[in-house]
Structure 1
Amino acid sequence: MANNNNNNNNNNITEVQNQPFIINDLTLISPDRSSKDIGKLKESIEVAESIYYPNRVQLYDLYHDVLSLDGFLRGIIQKRIDSVLNKKINFKKKDSKKDEDLTDLINGQKGRDIISLLIESKLWGTSGLEFVIGNKLQFHEIPRKHIKPEKGIITKSQYGLSEQDGYKYEDMPFVWVIGKKTDLGLLLACSMYAIYKRGSFGDFAQYVEIFGQPVRIMKYDAYDTKTKTELKSLLDNSGSSLAMMIPKQAEFEMLDGKTSNGDGKLQISLKDACNEEMSIAILGNTETTTSSKSSGYAQSKEHGEQQDELTISDLIFVENLLNSDKFKSILQSYGYDVDGKFEFELDLDLSKLKLRMEIDTFVSEKVPISDDYWYNTYGIPKPDNYDELKAKMEEAKKVNIAEPVNKSNTKKEKTDNKKGDLSDNSRQNFINTFFSKLADFFDQAQH
């Protein structure tokens, strides 16, 4: 790593060390875990989108609630984040050489945590980090309920609305807030389906509880109170399953929905529909997480390519943020040399590369293509002694080109000798001469 005792860095550290950490000055409140329904979701959105007094507290509490209790939603979100985390990223200097210190940092646990928060800003609408001044990179995550992107402030109380209640983060060099002012995140599109799915599970559980075991029905004579008392005692002492007592004279009919929903497919269909909508919102497809009855290889491949495009978009998004002036200035304060940029190592699709190589090879016969294009397109590292190896290749090409010419000249000399020998006018000599000329013709056509 670069020298940490640089005078400019020490001056920057001295200037901000006396400032209090925002995270230590916030009044934190645990998320609201009360019951959530569509009415509360609508109310939360209206408050968050208020023009004069926007507040995302209620909406973020709802996000916490649906995210912590919906396993499918957590799974697809983690899948999208892992698609970025599993790609190795390097810091390349201007001479294209890799900086080992910054590469190790961004691929380490702290770097992975930063990248995760960057991706989560798309899900929540915002993410905030406060970096700790010192010799080693450290940071705290700023609770999102205290970030007011519409006002550009971080409030001490989650219900604060003005700059007097907190800090203006754009003026703070070691506070990094990511997100657009009006973006409420992808979780907004998933919350409605998560709430509906939760209600469907509740109905399904009640259905199983009521109709998942036999119903005991006992009939008694309406005027025989003694029999009624004995039957009631019997039912009370014979288990907790559903039981009914009715007079023989009464008509009884149980409309339980078993005719149209005997196996609970109604609730399962609603659950699957909600999962599909959430999968489309987060991953852009359905077939890479679950498989529908009508799915096949072609459909799954198409959906996989759609998700690849979404992953590439996330990689570009993360690259742009890591290469931003804000993050580079933060890294520079820790003594790192930031004269370069972060770049992801992309996984090569061999089937696509094979087709592209055929096209590139054809194009290279028509117009010149630089060697750097081949290195960058096919992920081949450029050797340090490139100029030396290139010169040797050019010499080898000249030799290979010269050899066929010599062979052709040799064949031509032999043919000329045969042409000069006219003394043999036999049929065999004529045939040999004809085929020799024919071979020379095709040999010249090839060259």
Structure 2
Amino acid sequence: MKFTQNTTDLSGNLLYKPVKLSAKDSRDVNKVTKLMLDVVKQHRRLWRKEINDWQRARQIRYSLEFPQNYLLQEVYQDIMLDGQLTGITQNRTFRTTNKDYIFVNAEGKKDDTCTAFIKDKSWFENLIQYAHETVYFGTGVVWFKDLLKNEIQSVELLDRAHIIPEKGLFVPDVTSDKGIAYKDFEPFLIEVQMYDAVGLLEKAAPYTILKRHSWGSWDEFEELFGVPIRIAKVASQSETVKNEVAGWLEEMGSAAYGVFPLGTEVEIKENSKGDAFQVFYQKLQALRAELSMLILHQTMTTENGASKAQGNVHENTLSELIYADEKKMLSILNDKVVPAMRFFGYKIPEGYKIAIAQTKDTKEQIKIDQVLLQGGYVLKQSYIEEVYGSEIEAMPSQKMDAGSEKTTEEPKKG
């Protein structure tokens, strides 16, 4: 993939001065940075979102003439306050971002020199997180904002509320349809999108909002029926005495005792409907299961499993989902990030690409290696040290007698 440098003029309300990018400015990140300085920062509205807010946001988001993204992103930010939704989305994200990403050559062999370009680099860790979060929030645009000596120092995710993917625009004013065509400024600005442009949180919103309603209703039920009702009967008909006794009942709070005038009878009414809470509890459980199915495509890795066999089926389902995420991530990295790195000056040979290092389960691998050794195969010292983490000073030479499983060891010469 090659980038061509065309002269681009921008003027009007977007910029105070026209900015021109020509071939001689191909590595001048400061000129591209000026494009971002005129962005109007929007104050986030923090009131609780309801179903009607979600419906209105969707209607505007899917408008053919004038799509807007900021209302739906406000709904997304609000529902992400839900603890379970935060947990299951991070669960899925970590299973992809926590992998070791490496550079391999055309033969598929790891290249340590190129791998050092991305290994333990904060900009790369942030980039793959931004890319994966598009599963939930929809399309994102990443800005390579800080370059030093042909090396990327940091990246930033542009506010999704300002992004209109269908138009390819970054709009400084979220209520306007005028903005910057961000695709004209690759590779400084790259679009990342794992699946669709809207994200899974569109489907998660009604479940999360209804779940919040159930929590509120359960809280009201607790206030009404969770605490026994205390009734005081007094012999006096005086309003003053009645008000005084009522005040004492209120001051009791959760205390197990109280001091009342002689002749006062205190009666405690227990709630006879002990299982009424099941209405709220079962609804919450159903909504939790729906959210887990939506984000993780199964429930048993986050909820209690019924059996080991069923748990294995659910784990395999999740593994297929993670494998799909990894393929999408590698496509983004190799189609957009690697060409951008070459553009910025990284010496990455043609045919090299980013891959995920294959980690081995030592308990399972030792069974396989044992079969190989019994079959007469010789394992390399570097392989044994890498897989099992053992430092080996010398390797014995092995000879297999014909028709025998016995192995004789001879010291390795040299």
The question of a shared fold, defined as TM-score above 0.5 by the shorter chain, is answered with yes
**Residue identity in the other structure for 1:28:** K
What does residue range 270-349 of structure 1 map to in structure 2 within 5 Å?
A: 270-292=283-305, 295-324=306-335, 326-339=336-349, 340-348=352-360
Greater helix fraction, Structure 1 or Structure 2 = 1
Does the residue aligned with 1:140 lie in a helix, a strand or coil? strand
Aligned to 2:162: 146
Aligned to 1:75: 87
Pairs aligned (count): 345
Aligned to 1:34: 47
Q: Is the 8 A contact 2:131 2:192 kept in 1?
A: yes
**Residue identity in the other structure for 2:48:** S
Aligned counterpart for 2:248 among listed residues 213, 237, 254: 237
Could you say if the C-alpha distance between residues 102 and 350 of structure 1 is closer, same or farther in structure 2, counting changes exceeding 3 Å?
A: closer
Q: Indicate whether 1:110 and 2:123 are aligned.
A: yes
1:51 CA displacement: 1.5
Aligned to 1:201: 215
What does residue range 86-97 of structure 1 map to in structure 2 within 5 Å?
A: 86-94=98-106, 96-97=109-110
**Residue identity in the other structure for 1:235:** A
Q: Is the 8 A contact 1:146 1:155 kept in 2?
A: yes
Could you say if the C-alpha distance between residues 178 and 59 of structure 1 is closer, same or farther in structure 2, counting changes exceeding 3 Å?
A: same
Cα-to-partner distance string for 1:30-58 (whole Å, 9 max, x where unaligned):
32212221122112111111111111211
1:355 CA displacement: 11
**Residue identity in the other structure for 1:306:** T
Which structure ranks higher in relative contact order (CA pairs < 8 Å, sequence separation ≥ 6)?
1
Could you say if the C-alpha distance between residues 146 and 98 of structure 1 is closer, same or farther in structure 2, counting changes exceeding 3 Å?
A: same
Larger CA Rg, structure 1 vs 2: 1
1:338 CA displacement: 2.7
Percent sequence identity is 23
State the alpha-carbon separation in 2 of the partners of residues 52 and 352 from structure 1: 57
Does the residue aligned with 1:184 lie in a helix, a strand or coil? coil
Superposition TM-score, scaled by structure 2 size: 0.73
1:351 CA displacement: 8.8
State the alpha-carbon separation in 2 of the partners of residues 312 and 233 from structure 1: 70
Does the residue aligned with 2:198 lie in a helix, a strand or coil? coil
State the alpha-carbon separation in 2 of the partners of residues 180 and 280 from structure 1: 19
State the alpha-carbon separation in 2 of the partners of residues 318 and 279 from structure 1: 22
Q: Indicate whether 1:179 and 2:189 are aligned.
A: no
Does the residue aligned with 1:105 lie in a helix, a strand or coil? coil
Unaligned 5+ residue runs, structure 1?
1-8, 243-253, 361-370, 382-391, 405-447
What does residue range 248-259 of structure 1 map to in structure 2 within 5 Å?
A: 259=273
State the alpha-carbon separation in 2 of the partners of residues 342 and 153 from structure 1: 29
Does the residue aligned with 1:134 lie in a helix, a strand or coil? strand
Could you say if the C-alpha distance between residues 312 and 354 of structure 1 is closer, same or farther in structure 2, counting changes exceeding 3 Å?
A: farther
**Residue identity in the other structure for 2:168:** G
Aligned to 2:5: none
State the alpha-carbon separation in 2 of the partners of residues 342 and 94 from structure 1: 11
Could you say if the C-alpha distance between residues 182 and 100 of structure 1 is closer, same or farther in structure 2, counting changes exceeding 3 Å?
A: closer
Unaligned 5+ residue runs, structure 2?
1-22, 255-268, 387-396, 405-414
Could you say if the C-alpha distance between residues 32 and 83 of structure 1 is closer, same or farther in structure 2, counting changes exceeding 3 Å?
A: same
Q: Is the 8 A contact 1:285 1:306 kept in 2?
A: yes
Superposition TM-score, scaled by structure 1 size: 0.68
**Residue identity in the other structure for 1:35:** R
**Residue identity in the other structure for 1:213:** V
